[in-house]
Structure 1
Amino acid sequence: MEFYMKLPRSKKEFALFMGIVSIISVNIIAPLITFFEAGFHLYVYRDVLIVLPLIWLSVIVVVLLTYIPAEKMTAKIVSKGDSFNAHIVVNILCTVLMMSVLLTVIGTWIGTRSVSWEPIQMFFHKWPRNFSISLFVEMCIAQPVARFALYRLHLRLDKKTNG
Protein backbone atom coordinates (compact mmCIF):
# COMPACT_ATOMS: atom_id res chain seq x y z
CA MET A 1 0.00 0.00 0.00
CA GLU A 2 2.84 2.41 0.81
CA PHE A 3 4.30 1.85 -2.66
CA TYR A 4 0.96 2.90 -4.15
CA MET A 5 0.38 5.87 -1.87
CA LYS A 6 3.86 7.38 -1.44
CA LEU A 7 5.48 6.92 -4.84
CA PRO A 8 4.65 8.42 -8.24
CA ARG A 9 1.90 6.70 -10.22
CA SER A 10 2.42 8.60 -13.47
CA LYS A 11 4.99 10.62 -15.37
CA LYS A 12 3.34 13.81 -14.15
CA GLU A 13 3.66 12.67 -10.52
CA PHE A 14 7.26 11.58 -11.17
CA ALA A 15 8.00 15.10 -12.41
CA LEU A 16 6.36 16.55 -9.27
CA PHE A 17 8.31 14.17 -7.02
CA MET A 18 11.59 14.94 -8.81
CA GLY A 19 10.86 18.66 -8.66
CA ILE A 20 10.23 18.63 -4.91
CA VAL A 21 13.27 16.46 -4.14
CA SER A 22 15.62 18.37 -6.44
CA ILE A 23 14.60 21.84 -5.28
CA ILE A 24 14.94 20.93 -1.60
CA SER A 25 18.20 19.05 -2.18
CA VAL A 26 19.88 21.70 -4.30
CA ASN A 27 18.95 24.47 -1.89
CA ILE A 28 20.46 22.60 1.06
CA ILE A 29 23.28 20.47 -0.37
CA ALA A 30 24.96 23.00 -2.69
CA PRO A 31 25.25 25.75 -0.05
CA LEU A 32 26.46 23.31 2.62
CA ILE A 33 29.17 21.82 0.42
CA THR A 34 30.23 25.29 -0.68
CA PHE A 35 30.32 26.53 2.91
CA PHE A 36 32.62 23.65 3.86
CA GLU A 37 34.86 24.53 0.89
CA ALA A 38 34.93 28.33 1.10
CA GLY A 39 33.75 29.17 4.61
CA PHE A 40 30.45 30.14 6.20
CA HIS A 41 30.10 33.72 4.91
CA LEU A 42 27.24 35.71 3.42
CA TYR A 43 29.19 36.50 0.25
CA VAL A 44 29.78 32.75 -0.24
CA TYR A 45 26.04 32.15 0.00
CA ARG A 46 25.41 34.96 -2.51
CA ASP A 47 27.84 33.30 -4.94
CA VAL A 48 26.04 29.97 -4.48
CA LEU A 49 22.67 31.59 -5.23
CA ILE A 50 24.04 32.91 -8.52
CA VAL A 51 24.97 29.42 -9.81
CA LEU A 52 22.11 27.53 -8.13
CA PRO A 53 19.84 27.46 -11.21
CA LEU A 54 22.60 25.88 -13.30
CA ILE A 55 23.36 23.38 -10.55
CA TRP A 56 19.64 22.54 -10.34
CA LEU A 57 19.51 21.88 -14.10
CA SER A 58 22.57 19.64 -13.86
CA VAL A 59 20.95 17.76 -10.97
CA ILE A 60 17.84 17.14 -13.11
CA VAL A 61 20.01 15.83 -15.97
CA VAL A 62 22.01 13.59 -13.62
CA VAL A 63 18.81 12.26 -12.00
CA LEU A 64 17.46 11.30 -15.42
CA LEU A 65 20.78 9.67 -16.37
CA THR A 66 21.11 7.67 -13.14
CA TYR A 67 17.44 6.78 -12.57
CA ILE A 68 17.41 3.48 -14.49
CA PRO A 69 20.88 2.29 -13.36
CA ALA A 70 19.92 3.06 -9.73
CA GLU A 71 16.66 1.11 -10.14
CA LYS A 72 18.59 -1.87 -11.57
CA MET A 73 21.14 -1.73 -8.75
CA THR A 74 18.33 -1.51 -6.19
CA ALA A 75 16.61 -4.55 -7.72
CA LYS A 76 19.83 -6.57 -7.33
CA ILE A 77 20.07 -5.70 -3.62
CA VAL A 78 16.45 -5.98 -2.44
CA SER A 79 13.79 -8.51 -3.32
CA LYS A 80 10.14 -7.90 -4.15
CA GLY A 81 9.06 -9.15 -0.72
CA ASP A 82 11.19 -6.66 1.21
CA SER A 83 9.52 -3.79 3.02
CA PHE A 84 8.77 -0.39 1.57
CA ASN A 85 11.40 1.16 3.84
CA ALA A 86 14.04 -1.35 2.68
CA HIS A 87 13.33 -0.50 -0.95
CA ILE A 88 13.41 3.24 -0.26
CA VAL A 89 16.65 3.18 1.77
CA VAL A 90 18.49 1.04 -0.77
CA ASN A 91 17.18 3.11 -3.68
CA ILE A 92 18.29 6.34 -1.99
CA LEU A 93 21.72 4.82 -1.30
CA CYS A 94 22.13 3.73 -4.93
CA THR A 95 20.86 7.02 -6.33
CA VAL A 96 22.96 9.20 -4.03
CA LEU A 97 26.04 7.06 -4.69
CA MET A 98 25.78 7.52 -8.46
CA MET A 99 24.73 11.16 -8.34
CA SER A 100 27.36 12.19 -5.81
CA VAL A 101 30.13 10.70 -7.92
CA LEU A 102 29.08 12.76 -10.95
CA LEU A 103 28.07 15.92 -9.11
CA THR A 104 31.26 16.08 -7.05
CA VAL A 105 33.01 16.85 -10.33
CA ILE A 106 30.24 18.64 -12.26
CA GLY A 107 29.16 20.74 -9.27
CA THR A 108 32.73 21.92 -8.71
CA TRP A 109 33.04 22.91 -12.37
CA ILE A 110 29.80 24.88 -12.18
CA GLY A 111 30.61 26.44 -8.81
CA THR A 112 34.12 27.53 -9.81
CA ARG A 113 32.94 28.46 -13.31
CA SER A 114 35.87 26.58 -14.86
CA VAL A 115 36.53 23.08 -16.11
CA SER A 116 39.75 21.78 -14.60
CA TRP A 117 41.35 18.59 -13.32
CA GLU A 118 41.12 19.82 -9.70
CA PRO A 119 37.79 18.11 -8.80
CA ILE A 120 39.05 14.86 -10.31
CA GLN A 121 42.42 15.11 -8.53
CA MET A 122 40.71 15.91 -5.21
CA PHE A 123 37.82 13.50 -5.76
CA PHE A 124 38.62 10.98 -3.02
CA HIS A 125 39.22 13.80 -0.57
CA LYS A 126 35.91 15.58 -1.27
CA TRP A 127 33.51 12.85 -2.34
CA PRO A 128 32.98 11.17 1.09
CA ARG A 129 31.84 14.47 2.61
CA ASN A 130 29.62 15.28 -0.37
CA PHE A 131 28.12 11.78 -0.29
CA SER A 132 27.41 12.01 3.45
CA ILE A 133 25.74 15.42 3.21
CA SER A 134 23.67 14.32 0.21
CA LEU A 135 22.64 11.04 1.83
CA PHE A 136 21.49 12.78 5.00
CA VAL A 137 19.50 15.43 3.13
CA GLU A 138 17.88 12.88 0.79
CA MET A 139 16.97 10.37 3.52
CA CYS A 140 15.91 12.75 6.25
CA ILE A 141 14.54 15.84 4.48
CA ALA A 142 13.97 15.88 0.71
CA GLN A 143 12.52 12.44 0.01
CA PRO A 144 10.28 12.26 3.10
CA VAL A 145 8.80 15.66 2.20
CA ALA A 146 8.21 14.57 -1.41
CA ARG A 147 6.68 11.23 -0.37
CA PHE A 148 4.40 13.04 2.08
CA ALA A 149 3.31 15.42 -0.68
CA LEU A 150 2.51 12.48 -2.97
CA TYR A 151 0.69 10.70 -0.15
CA ARG A 152 -1.52 13.76 0.43
CA LEU A 153 -2.09 14.13 -3.32
CA HIS A 154 -3.07 10.46 -3.63
CA LEU A 155 -5.45 10.71 -0.67
CA ARG A 156 -7.15 13.66 -2.34
CA LEU A 157 -7.26 11.99 -5.77
CA ASP A 158 -8.54 8.68 -4.36
CA LYS A 159 -11.21 10.49 -2.33
CA LYS A 160 -12.32 12.32 -5.45
CA THR A 161 -12.44 9.06 -7.45
CA ASN A 162 -14.27 7.03 -4.78
CA GLY A 163 -16.91 9.52 -4.02
Structure 2
Amino acid sequence: MLPLEGEGPLGPLLPEHLSELFAGIALFLVVWWVVAKKVVPMFEATYAERTAEISGGIEKAEAAQAEAAAALAEYKAQLASAREEAAKIREDAKTQAASIAAEIRQQAQDESARMLATAKAQIDAERALVVHQLRGEIGGLATDLAGKIVGESLTDDDRATRAVERFIAELETESTSERA
Protein backbone atom coordinates (compact mmCIF):
# COMPACT_ATOMS: atom_id res chain seq x y z
CA MET A 1 0.00 0.00 0.00
CA LEU A 2 1.11 3.42 -0.85
CA PRO A 3 1.28 6.13 1.74
CA LEU A 4 -1.35 8.77 1.44
CA GLU A 5 -0.56 12.29 0.79
CA GLY A 6 0.86 14.07 3.86
CA GLU A 7 1.74 10.79 5.50
CA GLY A 8 5.32 9.70 5.90
CA PRO A 9 6.91 6.35 6.66
CA LEU A 10 5.36 6.33 10.19
CA GLY A 11 1.96 6.92 8.85
CA PRO A 12 -0.49 8.91 10.92
CA LEU A 13 1.85 8.71 13.95
CA LEU A 14 4.26 11.18 12.47
CA PRO A 15 3.50 14.61 13.95
CA GLU A 16 3.31 17.57 11.70
CA HIS A 17 5.60 19.61 13.87
CA LEU A 18 8.69 18.44 15.59
CA SER A 19 7.71 20.37 18.73
CA GLU A 20 4.73 18.10 19.15
CA LEU A 21 7.10 15.16 19.31
CA PHE A 22 9.23 16.83 21.99
CA ALA A 23 6.14 17.90 23.94
CA GLY A 24 4.82 14.33 23.77
CA ILE A 25 8.13 12.94 24.99
CA ALA A 26 8.29 15.56 27.79
CA LEU A 27 4.73 14.87 28.85
CA PHE A 28 5.44 11.11 28.79
CA LEU A 29 8.47 11.63 31.01
CA VAL A 30 6.44 13.81 33.42
CA VAL A 31 3.66 11.23 33.59
CA TRP A 32 6.23 8.45 34.01
CA TRP A 33 7.99 10.39 36.79
CA VAL A 34 4.66 11.12 38.58
CA VAL A 35 3.63 7.48 38.27
CA ALA A 36 7.07 6.29 39.46
CA LYS A 37 7.24 8.71 42.41
CA LYS A 38 3.63 8.88 43.55
CA VAL A 39 1.49 6.04 42.21
CA VAL A 40 3.97 3.14 42.36
CA PRO A 41 4.94 3.81 46.02
CA MET A 42 1.25 3.91 46.94
CA PHE A 43 0.74 0.58 45.17
CA GLU A 44 3.87 -0.82 46.86
CA ALA A 45 2.64 0.38 50.28
CA THR A 46 -0.79 -1.14 49.68
CA TYR A 47 0.86 -4.35 48.47
CA ALA A 48 3.14 -4.43 51.55
CA GLU A 49 0.16 -3.84 53.89
CA ARG A 50 -1.80 -6.61 52.27
CA THR A 51 1.22 -8.92 52.34
CA ALA A 52 1.70 -8.13 56.04
CA GLU A 53 -1.98 -8.71 56.75
CA ILE A 54 -1.94 -11.98 54.86
CA SER A 55 1.28 -13.18 56.52
CA GLY A 56 -0.05 -12.00 59.92
CA GLY A 57 -3.28 -13.86 59.24
CA ILE A 58 -1.30 -16.94 58.25
CA GLU A 59 0.82 -16.63 61.40
CA LYS A 60 -2.31 -16.19 63.50
CA ALA A 61 -3.87 -19.20 61.81
CA GLU A 62 -0.71 -21.25 62.37
CA ALA A 63 -0.60 -20.12 66.01
CA ALA A 64 -4.27 -20.96 66.45
CA GLN A 65 -3.68 -24.32 64.77
CA ALA A 66 -0.68 -25.00 67.05
CA GLU A 67 -2.75 -23.97 70.07
CA ALA A 68 -5.58 -26.24 68.96
CA ALA A 69 -3.12 -29.11 68.47
CA ALA A 70 -1.69 -28.48 71.96
CA ALA A 71 -5.21 -28.38 73.41
CA LEU A 72 -6.06 -31.62 71.58
CA ALA A 73 -2.91 -33.27 72.91
CA GLU A 74 -3.73 -32.07 76.43
CA TYR A 75 -7.31 -33.32 76.07
CA LYS A 76 -6.07 -36.71 74.86
CA ALA A 77 -3.63 -36.87 77.79
CA GLN A 78 -6.39 -35.99 80.25
CA LEU A 79 -8.67 -38.56 78.64
CA ALA A 80 -5.97 -41.24 78.87
CA SER A 81 -5.33 -40.25 82.49
CA ALA A 82 -9.05 -40.42 83.25
CA ARG A 83 -9.26 -43.85 81.61
CA GLU A 84 -6.31 -45.09 83.64
CA GLU A 85 -7.86 -43.71 86.82
CA ALA A 86 -11.21 -45.33 85.98
CA ALA A 87 -9.46 -48.66 85.37
CA LYS A 88 -7.64 -48.32 88.68
CA ILE A 89 -10.89 -47.49 90.47
CA ARG A 90 -12.56 -50.54 88.86
CA GLU A 91 -9.67 -52.77 89.93
CA ASP A 92 -9.74 -51.34 93.46
CA ALA A 93 -13.50 -51.90 93.60
CA LYS A 94 -13.09 -55.51 92.40
CA THR A 95 -10.38 -56.14 94.97
CA GLN A 96 -12.42 -54.51 97.70
CA ALA A 97 -15.52 -56.48 96.70
CA ALA A 98 -13.54 -59.72 96.73
CA SER A 99 -12.11 -58.97 100.18
CA ILE A 100 -15.55 -58.00 101.50
CA ALA A 101 -17.04 -61.19 100.06
CA ALA A 102 -14.24 -63.27 101.64
CA GLU A 103 -14.75 -61.48 104.95
CA ILE A 104 -18.52 -62.06 104.84
CA ARG A 105 -17.94 -65.72 103.88
CA GLN A 106 -15.52 -66.11 106.80
CA GLN A 107 -17.98 -64.45 109.19
CA ALA A 108 -20.74 -66.76 107.95
CA GLN A 109 -18.51 -69.80 108.42
CA ASP A 110 -17.51 -68.64 111.89
CA GLU A 111 -21.16 -67.99 112.80
CA SER A 112 -22.13 -71.38 111.39
CA ALA A 113 -19.39 -73.13 113.37
CA ARG A 114 -20.41 -71.26 116.50
CA MET A 115 -24.07 -72.14 116.00
CA LEU A 116 -23.14 -75.77 115.27
CA ALA A 117 -21.00 -75.97 118.41
CA THR A 118 -23.78 -74.38 120.48
CA ALA A 119 -26.36 -76.78 119.04
CA LYS A 120 -24.07 -79.77 119.60
CA ALA A 121 -23.41 -78.70 123.20
CA GLN A 122 -27.15 -78.21 123.75
CA ILE A 123 -27.93 -81.61 122.21
CA ASP A 124 -25.26 -83.27 124.35
CA ALA A 125 -26.65 -81.59 127.47
CA GLU A 126 -30.20 -82.60 126.60
CA ARG A 127 -29.05 -86.15 125.80
CA ALA A 128 -27.24 -86.41 129.13
CA LEU A 129 -30.35 -85.11 130.91
CA VAL A 130 -32.61 -87.57 129.07
CA VAL A 131 -30.22 -90.48 129.74
CA HIS A 132 -30.13 -89.55 133.41
CA GLN A 133 -33.92 -89.32 133.56
CA LEU A 134 -34.34 -92.57 131.64
CA ARG A 135 -31.92 -94.38 133.93
CA GLY A 136 -33.91 -93.23 136.91
CA GLU A 137 -37.21 -94.25 135.36
CA ILE A 138 -35.88 -97.54 133.98
CA GLY A 139 -34.31 -98.28 137.33
CA GLY A 140 -37.56 -97.63 139.13
CA LEU A 141 -39.54 -99.69 136.62
CA ALA A 142 -37.00 -102.52 136.71
CA THR A 143 -37.04 -102.56 140.51
CA ASP A 144 -40.84 -102.62 140.56
CA LEU A 145 -40.92 -105.37 137.94
CA ALA A 146 -38.27 -107.41 139.71
CA GLY A 147 -40.14 -106.95 142.96
CA LYS A 148 -43.35 -108.23 141.36
CA ILE A 149 -41.56 -111.18 139.77
CA VAL A 150 -39.75 -112.14 142.95
CA GLY A 151 -42.76 -111.37 145.02
CA GLU A 152 -41.03 -109.20 147.49
CA SER A 153 -40.21 -105.57 147.62
CA LEU A 154 -36.72 -104.56 146.70
CA THR A 155 -36.48 -101.50 148.86
CA ASP A 156 -32.75 -101.55 149.36
CA ASP A 157 -31.81 -98.60 147.19
CA ASP A 158 -28.11 -99.39 146.99
CA ARG A 159 -28.68 -102.94 145.80
CA ALA A 160 -31.35 -101.84 143.37
CA THR A 161 -29.19 -99.04 142.00
CA ARG A 162 -26.25 -101.39 141.43
CA ALA A 163 -28.46 -103.92 139.68
CA VAL A 164 -29.95 -101.24 137.44
CA GLU A 165 -26.54 -99.77 136.53
CA ARG A 166 -25.17 -103.23 135.75
CA PHE A 167 -28.19 -103.94 133.54
CA ILE A 168 -27.82 -100.61 131.68
CA ALA A 169 -24.06 -101.16 131.24
CA GLU A 170 -24.77 -104.57 129.71
CA LEU A 171 -27.30 -102.99 127.34
CA GLU A 172 -24.80 -100.30 126.28
CA THR A 173 -22.11 -102.91 125.69
CA GLU A 174 -24.48 -104.97 123.54
CA SER A 175 -25.60 -101.92 121.52
CA THR A 176 -21.96 -100.83 120.99
CA SER A 177 -20.94 -104.29 119.74
CA GLU A 178 -23.96 -104.38 117.40
CA ARG A 179 -23.01 -101.00 115.86
CA ALA A 180 -19.46 -102.07 115.17
State the TM bucket, normalised to the shorter chain: under 0.3
Structure showing greater radius of gyration is: 2
TM, length-normalised to structure 1: 0.25
